[in-house]
Structure 1
């Protein structure tokens, strides 16, 4: 589960030392300079996923240095993959300087000196993956050459990576210990895939990692095109430059065929809209048609098979407020 700490209850005079300890525990020891100690605000949330750690940092304006002296005193030997979610962040490592905006990702390393800062006066929010050096199956010299470089996440595999980190933020608290181990493997696969793509070293990844990354790309493509009536297994295979036979082989063991997955996710979208009070005037047949069910009868049958209730009854169950039985007044405790 997430563990959260914040400056809310920390006296202003102690916040610099407090945050220096937080950074040391969640990343590595740093030297900090805080522009406005009295007004400094920060929070951090940490989630342990097996060998890796996911953390989220929200900070006011400050500067940080990972110095040679601190590295000599102790080094966790981790790669850090940082996603900027708010504000701007500047980082310099191995003679590369990058200024990042929301949606940008940067790779840096606790074993080499670097500096980082928040040039925006309103501070920044950053999601960090702390990954032991030996767990990324790519040549170390190629990874070292990429330190401090900015990667985009607005399309392709970068967008899949960003979306997955966002889903962890929203749903990790619901996961069992087994689920968290699955998340660890998935995060490592996507991080390795993103770096391999940026470094043109895709062939260096293990075959299973390439397979999992491709499946995540296919899942994201399907979700993005659910409203497209041309979304078929053939279209999915063509978009990813694989044969239909290869696509079917990828899905073996997942419990769903490609067609069944498309159908299930379309029904999920329909169910979300039917439960949305703001959409209650939108015709049910129009909702079905929007998500790939142009025939009203077939939509109703598919929805009932999936959820045991008709679309109209499902919508009504989410629109009708609870009413006390007739002839009995509602008590304050029931209100």
Structure 2
């Protein structure tokens, strides 16, 4: 499957849309039942991405109720795991006699081996928007007993490694135009590591992660902290290590194992964001030094030298060239094609 295959209700006659959508969901996850008050003219739009063994599907759709029964489980149980993140709307999930309500602050998880019922809807009963993720439980870097314990537990999408997973899924949902099919397996590996880390954090059992997955999860947490704190000129390896509750030497090993020092990774991200802002016509009136300071680059001489080393030109010349190219671009490109 290519990255970003579209599945849209507009492709089908109105009376067939709900059945087609249910068939697609059942083939992605497992057989299930569905109901919607909008079934006679159901509206949905999805993009299915196959990232190695992981399927990710951002979707916008009308309110729906889904359920999986013990009879369905006896008939077909692929031992699959589902995680969904709401971008807009609410989910009410009934499982094992308990009801859990999810909004954009939490992840919903369920599996193909247990019965559940879920009602999902947008504000005022309107459409909702979410990102679904499906893969086999065996892909997680955790013992099976811990995976089963974590499914259905409250999982934050706003704090710690949960925020990293949320950011990763949001980027996928926003667009996959720049991705190639060969990128899929690598992105799938990153995604399963992040989900493993969220599960482990939920169980307060990060030590249960396989060693390599644990190192990757720590590296992702470090990078997420750095990206959030880039504007702070005091950001350095010691501050990152303290935030992760690890030693500075441990932090350095995490980064050097991937071919770059902590300081170099921080510097490059600061320079990338400065270069991006210098090329933005909306910021053309802002002095170069002010933009550099916004990203923690407070020493003008050091900044200019590092910028030239990274991009082969001065900050001022980079801005002049980028803004000139923007002015010369056709109007439909400057306006994003609208």
**TM-score, normalised to structure 2's length?**
0.90
Partner of 2:138: 134
Is 1:15 the equivalent of 2:17?
A: yes
Q: Which residue of 1 aligns with 2:307?
A: 303
Q: Aligned-pair distance for 1:195?
A: 0.3
Task: Report what 2:71 is aligned to.
Answer: 69
Q: Find the aligned partners of 2:147 and 2:328 in 1 and give their Cα distance.
A: 59
- Give deviations 1:18-66, integer Å, cap 9, x for gaps: 1221211222221111112234211222111222211223221121111
Q: Paired residue for 1:41, among 19, 40, 43?
A: 43
1:322 matched residue in structure 2: 328
CA distance in 2, matches of 1:198, 1:274: 41
* Between 215-224 and 309-318, the greater mean CA deviation after superposition: 309-318
Q: Any idea what SS the aligned residue of 2:23 has?
A: helix
> Aligned residue for 1:280?
284
In 1, Cα distance between the equivalents of 2:54 and 2:25? 16
Q: Give distance in 2, aligned partners of 1:277 and 1:23.
A: 43
Q: CA deviation at 1:206?
A: 0.8
**Aligned twin of 2:265:** 261
Structure 2: distance between partners of 1:149 and 1:93: 11
Whether contact under 8 Å (1:222, 1:262) holds in the other structure is yes
**Quick one: distance in 2 between partners of 1:95 and 1:146?**
17
User: Which of 213, 218, 229 is the aligned partner of 1:214?
Assistant: 218
Name which of structure 1's ranges 278-287 and 125-134 shifts more when overlaid on structure 2: 125-134
SS of residue matched to 2:34: strand
Checking the alignment, whether the CA contact within 8 Å between 1:103 and 1:154 is kept in structure 2 is yes
Matches within 5 A, 1:146-165: 146-165=150-169
SS in 2 for 1:251: helix
Distance in 2 (CA, whole Å) between partners of 1:280 and 1:256 is 32
Alpha-carbon contact 1:97-1:149 (below 8 Å) kept: no
Deviation for aligned residue 1:69: 2.2
CA-CA distance at 1:171 after TM superposition: 5.9
The Cα offsets for residues 97-156 of structure 1, whole Å up to 9 and x where unpaired, read as 211111320110111111111244113222122121222233434433333333111111
Name structure 2 gaps, 5 residues minimum: 330-338
Question: Which of these residues, 221, 225, 228, is aligned with residue 224 of structure 1?
Answer: 228
8 Å contact from structure 1 (residues 96, 149) kept in 2: no
Give the whole-Å Cα distance in 2 for the aligned partners of 1:168 and 1:191. Answer: 15
Alignment of 1:74-153 (within 5 A): 74-120=76-122, 121-153=125-157
The alignment partner of 1:174 has SS state of coil
1:330 match: none
Q: Which residue of 2 aligns with 1:183?
A: 187
User: RMSD over aligned Cα, in angstroms?
Assistant: 1.8
Aligned equivalent of 1:31? 33
- CA spacing shift, 1:298–1:137, aligned 2, 3 Å: closer
Alpha carbons of structure 1 residues 137 and 285: separation in structure 2 relative to 1, 3 Å: closer
Give the 3-state SS of the residue equivalent to 1:129 in structure 2: strand
Equivalent-residue separation in structure 2 for 1:170 and 1:59 (angstroms): 16
146-155 vs 167-176, which moves further: 167-176
Q: Which moved more, 1:45-54 or 1:222-231?
A: 45-54
Distance 1:234 1:148 in 2: 36
1:50–1:292 Cα change, 3 Å? same
Query: What is aligned with 1:333?
Result: none
Alignment partner, residue 252 of structure 1? 256
Q: What does the per-residue CA deviation read over 1:272-319, in whole Å, with 9 as the maximum and x for residues that have no partner?
A: 110111111101111112222223232222111111111111111122
SS state of the match for residue 81, structure 1? strand
Aligned residues: 323
CA distance in 2, matches of 1:46, 1:168: 10
Secondary structure of 1:316's aligned partner: helix
- 1:255 Cα shift? 2.4
Which whole-Å CA distance do the structure 1 matches of 2:17 and 2:99 have between them?
Answer: 28
